[in-house]
């Protein structure tokens, strides 16, 4: 490393990767070790990410890093820029990695965890995504020390970016396998009002929900509120945490994540925290986010001692009415999971998938290929890679698609 480069690295200044893409030789790759190292020029990409989903916004990633990063994990942000417009990125890939452990592969992961419902690279609207993704794959492949495995989770497999990125990683020499993460139930509102939406539910769901709602209303014991921001937010977060801790749900492994997220999204105007009180005691809570005409149902919980009242379903009906008739959303998104209650309220399903890219040029990467793809196929794929490298071309081998869940793809 030259003196100038060593000084830049020591000061945290990103070093550009110089290998060009065949399609657009001007593109250059850089990497950063924290989100704050990005200049204001990256804001446009986070804004573009937000327009796709609030779960691709800067506040989302900032809270994820600040409140739910395991000890030893590190951020790695890859940026692709066009030197014709210096300092202006055309792509960002927020990623992370753990500390190096002797027998485990060095794994670069999407900046996601079990709190994440969606992920994808952030790409400028005026950029050809294929060029940018090719340069991104080359930049990751050229990173030093080498990555044994790249694991991207919670991707929209129906997006063109999914196949473009998988193909770019193959072209960069990785052995690529895709895998199923989760179902995602949602409801296109399609101009209906709340009553029209309710009429389109299965009669059994609709009739039971209405019957229980009438029973609750006759009792006069239940009070509902929706908190979005302001002085009431602190008490509302306290009520949510009390309800969640009294519910059937597993305690939060990162207890600061939800309060941090609620405050961050309230600041942006996206939070809708629904609360139901029975005799003025917190009984049920639902965390919804509303932005870009989409209502995302992120968390639901109820105190188990109020289970027989069905106060959770009553709160769901109230939140749906507000989202459809008042907020005028175009879509209700129940996010990840194939739970039966999500199927009751939603009519459409899509999927979230992952991309596992293994580096056959490293011993641990080759071992991952054998583990996840199979010895016979791995031997053929590695031999094709060796032959292609000798010939100066890149392999395009496709691996069988796995229907296994994300938990089956743990690090070696």
Q: Are 76 and 96 in contact (CB under 8 A)?
A: yes
Which of 5-14, 133-142, 319-328, 340-349 shows the lowest per-residue confidence on average (mean pLDDT)? Answer: 5-14
3-state DSSP assignment of residue 193: coil
pLDDT in tens, 75-93: 999 999 988 777 789 999 9
pLDDT at residue 381 in the model? 63
3-state DSSP assignment of residue 278: strand
Query: Whole-angstrom Cα distance, residue 196 to residue 325?
Result: 11
What average pLDDT score do residues 6-28 get? 44
pLDDT at residue 10 in the model? 31
Q: Which domains does the chain have, with CATH numbers?
A: 12-182+352-409 (3.40.630.30), 191-329 (3.40.630.30)
3-state DSSP assignment of residue 276: strand
pLDDT in tens, 50-69: 999 999 999 999 999 999 99
The CA-atom distances, in angstroms, between 146 and each of 106, 107, 256 are 8, 9, 33
pLDDT exceeds cutoff 60 at 182: yes
pLDDT at residue 21 in the model? 37
Query: Whole-angstrom Cα distance, residue 187 to residue 290?
Result: 14
The residues pairing with 97 across neighbouring beta strands, listed in sequence order, are: 74
Query: Greater confidence, 317 or 36?
Result: 317
pLDDT at residue 41 in the model? 84
Burial class (CB in 10 A: 0-12, 13-18, 19+), 10: exposed
Could you give the percent of the chain with pLDDT greater than 90? 76
Which of 35-49, 166-180, 334-348 shows the lowest per-residue confidence on average (mean pLDDT)? Answer: 35-49
pLDDT exceeds cutoff 50 at 121: yes
pLDDT at residue 26 in the model? 80
Q: How many CB atoms lie within 10 A of CB 244?
A: 20
Average pLDDT in the chain: 88
Q: Where are the alpha helices (DSSP H) in 129-269?
A: 129-142, 160-171, 194-199, 203-219, 233-245, 257-268
pLDDT in tens, 229-244: 999 999 999 999 999 9
Query: Whole-angstrom Cα distance, residue 98 to residue 314?
Result: 43
What average pLDDT score do residues 156-182 get? 97
Query: Greater confidence, 7 or 35?
Result: 35
């Amino acid at each position: 490393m030259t003196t100038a480069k060593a000084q830049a690295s020591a000061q945290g200044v990103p070093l550009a990767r110089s290998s060009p893409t065949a399609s657009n030789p001007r593109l250059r790759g850089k990497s950063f070790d924290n989100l704050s190292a990005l200049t204001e020029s990256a804001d446009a990409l986070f804004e573009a990410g937000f327009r796709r989903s609030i779960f691709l916004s800067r506040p989302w990633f900032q809270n994820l890093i600040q409140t739910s990063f395991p000890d030893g994990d590190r951020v790695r942000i890859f940026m692709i820029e066009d030197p014709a417009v210096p300092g202006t990125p055309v792509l960002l890939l927020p990623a992370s990695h753990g500390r190096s452990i002797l027998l485990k592969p060095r794994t670069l992961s999407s900046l996601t965890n079990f709190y994440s419902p969606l992920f994808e690279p952030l790409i400028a609207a005026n950029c050809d995504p294929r060029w940018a993704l090719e340069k991104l794959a080359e930049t990751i492949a050229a990173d030093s020390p080498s990555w044994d495995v790249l694991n991207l989770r919670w991707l929209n497999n129906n997006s063109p970016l999914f196949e473009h990125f998988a193909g770019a990683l193959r072209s960069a020499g990785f052995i690529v396998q895709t895998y199923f993460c989760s179902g995602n139930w949602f409801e296109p509102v399609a101009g209906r009002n709340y009553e029209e939406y309710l009429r389109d539910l299965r009669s059994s769901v609709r009739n039971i929900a209405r019957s229980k709602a009438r029973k609750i209303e006759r009792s006069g014991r239940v009070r509902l509120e929706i908190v979005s921001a302001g002085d009431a937010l602190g008490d509302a977060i306290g009520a949510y945490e009390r309800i969640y801790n009294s519910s059937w749900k597993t305690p939060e492994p990162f207890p600061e994540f939800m309060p941090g997220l609620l405050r961050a999204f309230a600041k942006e105007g996206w939070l809708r925290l629904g609360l139901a009180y029975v005799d003025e005691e917190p009984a049920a809570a639902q965390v919804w986010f509303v932005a870009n005409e989409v209502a995302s149902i992120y968390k639901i919980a109820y105190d188990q001692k109020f289970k027989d009242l069905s106060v959770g379903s009553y709160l769901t009906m109230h939140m749906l009415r507000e989202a459809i008739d008042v907020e005028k959303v175009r879509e209700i998104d129940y996010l990840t999971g194939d739970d039966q209650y999500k199927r009751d309220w939603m009519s459409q399903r899509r999927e979230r998938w992952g991309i596992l890219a293994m580096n056959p040029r490293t011993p641990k990467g080759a071992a991952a290929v054998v583990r996840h793809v199979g010895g016979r196929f791995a031997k053929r794929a590695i031999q094709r890679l060796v032959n292609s490298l000798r010939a100066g071309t890149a392999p395009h081998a496709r691996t069988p698609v796995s229907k296994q869940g994300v938990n089956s793809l743990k690090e070696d």
